[in-house]
Amino acid sequence: MSESVYKVIELVGTSTESWEKAARAAVERAGESLRDLRVAEVSELDMNLVDGKVQQYRAKVKVSFKYVDE
């Protein structure tokens, strides 16, 4: 059995609708340029407020992918 190594990066996704859509945006964007995504973990949720109203949901997401030496 061979060993594997995974790299973990942290991204922040945003949405005007929900935290779920913010997290999904981060993962989908990562998938456009990274290969072999394995796990995504939401590590923090917050919101941008303007005049006391929610303007944007933000999800900090840790994404791991298999590290391959090229």
User: Cβ contacts of residue 28 below 8 Å, gap of 6+?
Assistant: none
pTM of this structure: 0.85
Domain 9-66's class? alpha beta
3-59 pLDDT tens trace: 888 999 999 999 999 999 999 999 999 999 998 899 999 999 999 999 999 999 999
Task: Report d(CA 61, CA 68) in Å as an integer.
Answer: 22
User: Cβ contacts of residue 30 below 8 Å, gap of 6+?
Assistant: 9, 11, 37, 63, 65
